[in-house]
Amino acid sequence: MTSSAVFPRQPLSGRRLTERFQTVRNQTVRLCAPLQVEDFVVSSMPDVSPTKWHLAHTSWFFETFVLAEHLPDYVSPNPRYAFLFNSYYVQAGERHCRAQRGLVTRPSVNEVFAYRAHVDEAVLRLCDRIADDPSHPAWSLIELGIHHEQQHQELLLTDIKHVFWTNPLRPSYHARPLGDRKPAALKWQRFDAGVREIGHEGSTFAFDNEGPRHRVFTEAFQMATRLVTNGEYLEFINDGGYRRPELWLSNGWATVRDGNWSAPLYWERESESDDWQEFTLGGTSDLEPSSPVCHVSYYEADAFARWAGYRLPTEAEWETAAATLPIAGNFVEGGVFHPAVDDGRGQWYGDTWQWTQSAYVAYPGYKPVAGAIGEYNGKWMSDQWVLRGASCATPQSHARLTYRNFFPSEARWQFTGIRLASDS
């Protein structure tokens, strides 16, 4: 079986593959514009990769899975880069240990950009040969690389936010976000019990873990029409949310105590007024009560839902509820990267990723592709939850109804928030 069967071709947006490749690669570079050389180097915690590494790894991805096989005369600028910039593909050879990514000062940022240019030139040369023919075996791999690059665009922003937060000087990536607005009223949409189909099918692009499309039964349920806000979450805090073990999963309560958690990540109290502030990519600002709460873990999302008398949705419920709506939302790719207020369309995409109570496991009939590329999604199917939707840091063209993002229970450096559900 070739990988093209699993990562199907997609003439997305009607644009040619060459154009899509260039657009997305350029966007990655644009995201680095506000950074100084020093900012590219460090990793502020085990989950965070250096910006420099993101830039190189996404290039290595094209080099390894596209160029090595389909451009016979391709020569890497440095054969050691394969060791340094392979993330986790054990079938693609030995690799640097993740814990030391932030300790490697060379290649320099300039050398990494040169590496990107080298890879770009080669991929474009290959694109010429392919002539936008989706039946060419390299076509779908290039498309996969483009979507892979988009994932790292979001990670780049997520990670640099944490790097800046780790610095007592609290530098900012960008200009300050705009002020707060009124949130929409929280309403509930009811869905009857029944058999549904979920998952991806067809010729447009999706990751392999989004399929096969299959049937599920959902008992009747209700789904909130917008996300939980900072203001609502503050009520939970003020009601002793972080001090009441009965509201928490057992592992969640252990995490709260061990980590001294008393609020979402990036919240801190202004030392004099005791008012809550939020660190954003635009620096520290007053907490906006109407914005969706962000940077909460599964444990916090679950505890909040229990406190509020609701629960988190399953991914089948989420997809069922979101299925009738177009993909639109507060994507702010060139903007402030600050969870935005409800625009009345339900906040399904473009504000925060939404925790579901569905564990990340294979759909019935799922088979990863053979070889290293099959490690992309399949080997992560334990000890994580599915998140649905898309965040303000997600590239808009990357958002999809069937997208299955996944993180473990305690992760909260991603742009993750809360949508409530309930039994009907």
> Between residues 103 and 131, which has the closer beta carbon with respect to its own copies?
103
Rounded CA-CA distance 348/399 in Å is: 10
Contacts of 42 (CB under 8 A, 6+ apart): 50, 102, 163
Rounded CA-CA distance 201/171 in Å is: 44
> Between residues 330 and 357, which has the closer beta carbon with respect to its own copies?
357
Shortest spacing between CB 312 and its own copies, in angstroms: 10
Shortest spacing between CB 355 and its own copies, in angstroms: 11
Q: Which residues pair with 277 in a beta bridge?
A: 268, 286
Shortest spacing between CB 372 and its own copies, in angstroms: 9
> Between residues 179 and 217, which has the closer beta carbon with respect to its own copies?
217
Q: Are 301 and 358 in contact (CB under 8 A)?
A: no
Helix axes 298-308, 250-258, angle to 10 degrees: 120
Helices within 108-177 (DSSP H only): 109-130, 139-166
Helices and strands (DSSP H and E) totals, the chain: 11, 12
Shortest spacing between CB 248 and its own copies, in angstroms: 7
Shortest spacing between CB 80 and its own copies, in angstroms: 6
> Between residues 248 and 267, which has the closer beta carbon with respect to its own copies?
248
Rounded CA-CA distance 226/352 in Å is: 11
Shortest spacing between CB 364 and its own copies, in angstroms: 4
Q: In the block, which residue shows the tokens 């399949």? A: 378
> Between residues 273 and 382, which has the closer beta carbon with respect to its own copies?
382
> Between residues 72 and 364, which has the closer beta carbon with respect to its own copies?
364
> Between residues 148 and 214, which has the closer beta carbon with respect to its own copies?
214
Q: Which residues bind its own copies (CB under 8 A)?
A: 36-44, 52, 80, 83-84, 88, 90-91, 96, 100, 102-109, 163-164, 166-169, 171, 193, 195, 214-219, 221, 245-246, 248-253, 298-299, 302, 311, 357-359, 361-362, 364-365, 375, 379-383, 408-409, 423
Q: What separation in angstroms does the CA of 301 have from each of 116, 359, 423?
A: 39, 15, 17
Q: In the block, which residue shows the tokens 């976000």? A: 177
Rounded CA-CA distance 410/83 in Å is: 30
Shortest spacing between CB 253 and its own copies, in angstroms: 7
